[in-house]
A and B are shown apart, each in its own frame.
Chain A
């Protein structure tokens, strides 16, 4: 997908921003090479660490500004986990907090011009979603044992329909990591690709000599950037809240 040399005549290359390049060494990306994806994921983790460590070091009763932000973040995720995942879910709170803040910071840092969004790659989001799927399934089996399999057997349906519904339930359960990963990855990919297309249009209008008309793609880019900030937050929220919903299904099977 790395169309570094472009044979055909298009001037807008929205997919070049997603190429993963090694930062030192050049050329091939190998198993342990430091790439731009690694760098931005590390910056995201360092940002989260800085916010939480700095925010919780004060421990004032009336919080300072940074402490207030850290408390807001904590309170928001805690309320979401308690509400949606039900009782017995607070011991999985650190995992959900990690997921939410990592995806939020990765998405938001990707809005910086010139940066890289690691969550736009299906490799990253598929790993996260697969981890959630395996975790939730293992939690379900650990809590309910083999009784967890009755989750797929619909009790409220007429007898002859139950095997059909069971197959449908199984298929929709296994499709969960697919939709979970693609939702986040494709949202990030689409947002940044569209921004790049409008930027290319802007450059084309300027290069074509119609100076004042360039305000049209520029206005579109401003609006889309605002929309992308919102989508970055919403997608992180939706990933976390769907994890809570799946956790609820595993813990209380209804």
Chain B
């Protein structure tokens, strides 16, 4: 296989592997939301003011999965 085709193969396999980052993001966001739900069901009155923390936590957890997407995009289009 000549070098160009091998590079293309490597790029596409790498882009596919970078999508495994979504697994971590899914677990992370679910963990944050689940803990918030458990806390909110115990203490519903205090849940309202912690929604800001919930969204910040979910954004941080989601961002790491999105970084995996950025790696995939870089491999597909910018390498």
Binding site for B on A (CB under 8 A): 1, 3, 15, 80, 83-84, 179, 182-183, 186-187, 189-190, 234-235, 237-238, 241-242, 245
Given contacts A183-B66, A186-B66, A190-B66, A245 and B77 within 8 Å (CB-CB): no
Please, could you name 23 A-B residue pairs with CB atoms under 8 Å apart, sorted by A?
A: A1-B77, A3-B77, A15-B77, A83-B49, A83-B52, A84-B52, A182-B63, A182-B66, A182-B67, A182-B70, A183-B62, A183-B66, A186-B67, A186-B69, A189-B69, A190-B69, A234-B55, A234-B59, A235-B59, A238-B56, A241-B56, A242-B56, A245-B56
Any chain A CB within 8 A of the CB of B73?
yes
Rounded to whole angstroms, the CA-CA distance of A245 and B67 in the bound complex is 21
Majority secondary structure, A binding face: helix
Excluding A182-B63, A182-B70, A187-B62, 10 further A-B contacts by CB distance (< 8 Å) are A84-B52, A179-B67, A182-B66, A183-B62, A186-B70, A186-B73, A190-B69, A234-B55, A238-B55, A242-B59
Rounded to whole angstroms, the CA-CA distance of A28 and B4 in the bound complex is 29
Rounded to whole angstroms, the CA-CA distance of A234 and B61 in the bound complex is 14
Report B-chain residues with C-beta under 8 Å of the C-beta of A15.
Answer: 77
CB of A237 within 8 A of CB of B55, answer yes
Which chain B residue has the least Cβ–Cβ distance from A79? B52
Q: Which parts of B12-71 form the interface with A (CB within 8 Å)? A: 49, 52, 55-56, 59, 62-63, 66-67, 69-70
CB of A15, distance to nearest CB on chain B (Å):
6
CB of A189 within 8 A of CB of B73, answer yes
Rounded to whole angstroms, the CA-CA distance of A80 and B77 in the bound complex is 38
Any chain A CB within 8 A of the CB of B78?
yes
Report A-chain residues with C-beta under 8 Å of the C-beta of B69.
Answer: 186, 189-190
Which chain B residue has the least Cβ–Cβ distance from A1? B77
Enumerate the 9 nearest inter-chain pairs by beta-carbon distance, A residue then B residue, closest first: A238-B59, A186-B66, A183-B63, A1-B77, A186-B70, A190-B69, A186-B69, A179-B63, A182-B70
